[in-house]
Chain A
């Protein structure tokens, strides 16, 4: 029997099917208790992530198909998901799919979060031509976790997983 962790780690994200839930850092833990029950913990990327139900069903179905009869999927909210948890492999797959991976998540010091009245300058490499001459079109893109950018060299628009 394939280990529960291996099975769960292979389940892909419904919206970015080139990445696994493990690549995204959404899969937090896989445990098998003394009674043989598999307990999988997942965390949502954003509060409103509409893919959570599908992820839950996909994990459940994959584990059952692999022979695990007793499966429980738990949601953990804390600590809150960060793009820093996307693995190196996950970042490579994002670029391959034409999506720019996130930079480092902002480090929050104590006290109010400073206002940014102009989009902060950051170096984001075009996933198509590798140019760093890219510009943000919108901080909100096709899904909650992505911003929309355009490359000034090759002219192509692309998604960028924004840092949180």
Chain B
């Protein structure tokens, strides 16, 4: 037992925790052998995609700390960000073990450049107002919940176990966001107009979520197969919110490439600068 958390974190002589590195491997003690019949490189690439979605979305939610309209929502957004950060840690650790590179979660989070990140562009876009925040969260959580529910049956038992935990968390995230979309959409004239704008701004990133990357088709869930379920949920929420479905074209990629190929928007570089600069400036620093 320890008198305080700092002592406990230093128990194994690892003093690098101060800027977020040096935590114990979140998959420690688990059997992480890649099962026969599963392509290890594909599995690693897929876990990186799902892990990067969670990491980058978590970062955007964390930026709401001290900025949310009410204390309860500040706590909610931080909690949701923490759940996603936890999912990211597990998925990045899984990716590093599956590809045989031995890269840990920290190396993957802090020492890759933007072209190496595989998240969808929806996650990285700069935070707008609170309406944009809940619209993005509704879209993100609904899509991710549908994927994770199917991944519970993944051929990789580690990914299946991560998905089973994620499902429970994402159901809370989705419903939190949905209730806010309804409250603002079906609120005052002003809140309705702002919810309308927030939803429109998010909508250009929706098409990309359902465009299957070859890796997703081979080892994961083809996201185009969850489109109907996603549309069903959004229809229900938008009807209750007295909002119509946006008619906004999907944001084009570059020569057909987008987030899953490592082609991001301008916002990504700034986000990574904030996320990574301390770890990069003080590599292997100890406190």
Residue ranges of A at the interface with B (Cβ–Cβ < 8 Å): 14, 41, 44, 46-50, 52-54, 56-58, 60-62, 65, 72-81, 112-113, 115-119, 137-144, 148, 162, 164
Contacts and interface: CB of A to CB of B under 8 A. Distances in A.
Interface residues on B, range: 35 or more
Contact of B146 (A47, A48, A112, A143): A112
A16 B238 CA distance: 40
B76 A140 contact: yes
A141 B178 CA distance: 18
B161 A80 contact: yes
A72 B29 CA distance: 8
Nearest to B22: A53
B161 A78 contact: yes
A75 B82 CA distance: 19
Interface string B1-42: 110010011011000000000011011111000000000000
Interface in B210-234: 229, 232-233
Contacts of A119: 179
A77 B30 contact: yes
Contact of B11 (A61, A74, A81, A141): A61
**Which residue, of A49, A61, A80, A116, has the highest number of chain B Cβ atoms within 10 A?**
A80
B169 interface: yes
A115 B146 contact: no
A140 B86 contact: no
A60 B2 CA distance: 11
Interface string B233-266: 1001100100000000000000000000000000
B171 A46 contact: no
Given A47-B165, A58-B2, A140-B176, A117 B237 contact: yes
Describe B's contact surface by its main secondary structure.
Answer: helix
A126 to B, nearest CB: 19
Given A14-B5, A142-B75, 20 more contacts: A44-B165, A47-B90, A53-B24, A57-B8, A57-B9, A58-B8, A72-B29, A73-B28, A75-B29, A77-B30, A78-B160, A80-B161, A80-B168, A113-B171, A117-B182, A140-B79, A140-B172, A140-B176, A148-B75, A164-B172
Given A52-B26, A115-B237, A117-B182, A61 B2 contact: yes
A139 B76 contact: yes
Contacts of B178: 115, 117
A112 B86 CA distance: 23
CB-based closest 4 A-B pairs: A48-B86, A74-B29, A47-B86, A77-B161
Given A113-B149, A140-B80, A144-B79, A47 B169 contact: yes
Given A46-B169, A117-B240, A53 B75 contact: no
